[in-house]
Amino acid sequence: MKNDEWLTPPEIMAKLGAFDLDPCSPINRPWDTARRHFTVTDDGLSKEWFGRVWMNPPFGREATRWMKKMADHGNGIALIPARTETAMFYESVWTRADAVLFLKGRPHFHRVDGSRASFNSGAPICLVAYGQRNHAALLNSGLGVVVAVPRIAA
Ligand SMILES: C[S@@+](CC[C@H](N)C(=O)[O-])C[C@H]1O[C@@H](n2cnc3c(N)ncnc32)[C@H](O)[C@@H]1O
C-alpha cells in the first residue's frame, strides 16, 4: 500500500456514527465520510478543524503531524496502524488519547473508484478516540477490543 489513496472500508465508518469533518479526503471520493471534507488542494493540515473529526491520515512520516493535530483538536477518531511502540504512538496516543480499539481482523481498504482491495492491510490496524463521546462510539461499534488509555506521564 504505497500511496495515500486507500480508503476506509464503509462498513467500519457505518459503525462509528456521523462525523463533522474529514480533513484528509480524496479529491474524487466514492462516498462521504463526514459532513465536510478537506482534500490535498485545501491542505487539511493547515486548516482550522471543527466538530467531530474522522481521520485516516496520509501514510509515512507525515502521519505524525496529522496525529499531533488530532490530539490537539481532541474530538474525533483516527485510523492508524497499531504500531504501539513507536514515538508517534507515545506522543499522540498513549499520552493524549482516551481509548484505542484494536480492530478484529485486517481490513481491506478501498480504491478511490470504490473497489475493494483483494489483499488486506498487511498490518494490524487500530482506531484512536479523542474525547469521551468517541470513546463511547468505539465501545458501541463492536469492531474489536477497546482499551481505555490510562493517564500516564508523557
Ligand atoms: C489514507 S487516505 C484516507 C481517505 C479518507 N479519509 C478515508 O478515510 O477513507 C488519505 C487521504 O489524504 C489525502 N491527503 C493527502 N495529503 C493531504 C493534505 N495535505 N490535505 C488533505 N488531504 C490530503 C489523500 O489524497 C488521501 O485521499
By most ligand atoms within 8 Å of CB, the mutation choice from 24, 41, 56, 70 for ligand 1 is: 24
What residue ranges in the chain does DSSP mark as E strands? 21-22, 36-37, 53-55, 76-81, 99-103, 125-130, 144-148
Comparing CA positions, the residue from 43, 147, 59, 46 lying closest to residue 109 is: 59
Q: Record the cell numbers describing residue 74, joined without a space.
A: 481532541
Give the pLDDT of residue 96: 97
The per-residue pLDDT for 61 is: 81
Rounded CA-CA distance 90/19 in Å is 25
29 lines ligand 1 (CB under 6 A): no
The predicted-structure confidence for 109-152, as pLDDT tens digits, reads as follows 999 999 999 999 999 999 999 999 999 999 999 999 999 999 77
- Among all chains, which residue has been given the C-alpha cell 485486517? 106
Work out the end-to-end distance of the chain between its first and last CA atoms, rounded to an integer number of angstroms: 32
Best mutation site among 1, 2, 4, 16 for ligand 1 pocket (most ligand atoms within 8 Å of CB): 4
Low-confidence ranges of the chain (pLDDT < 70): 1-2, 153-154
Burial environment of residue 145 by CB neighbours within 10 A (0 to 12, 13 to 18, 19 or more):
exposed
The answer, yes or no, to whether any atom of ligand 1 lies below 6 A from the CB of 81, is no
pLDDT for res 60? 79
* 31-to-9, 25, 37, 90, 109 alpha-carbon distances in Å: 11, 10, 11, 32, 13
pLDDT reported for residue 20 = 98
What does each C-alpha distance from 82 to 43, 73, 93, 132 come to in angstroms? 25, 21, 10, 21
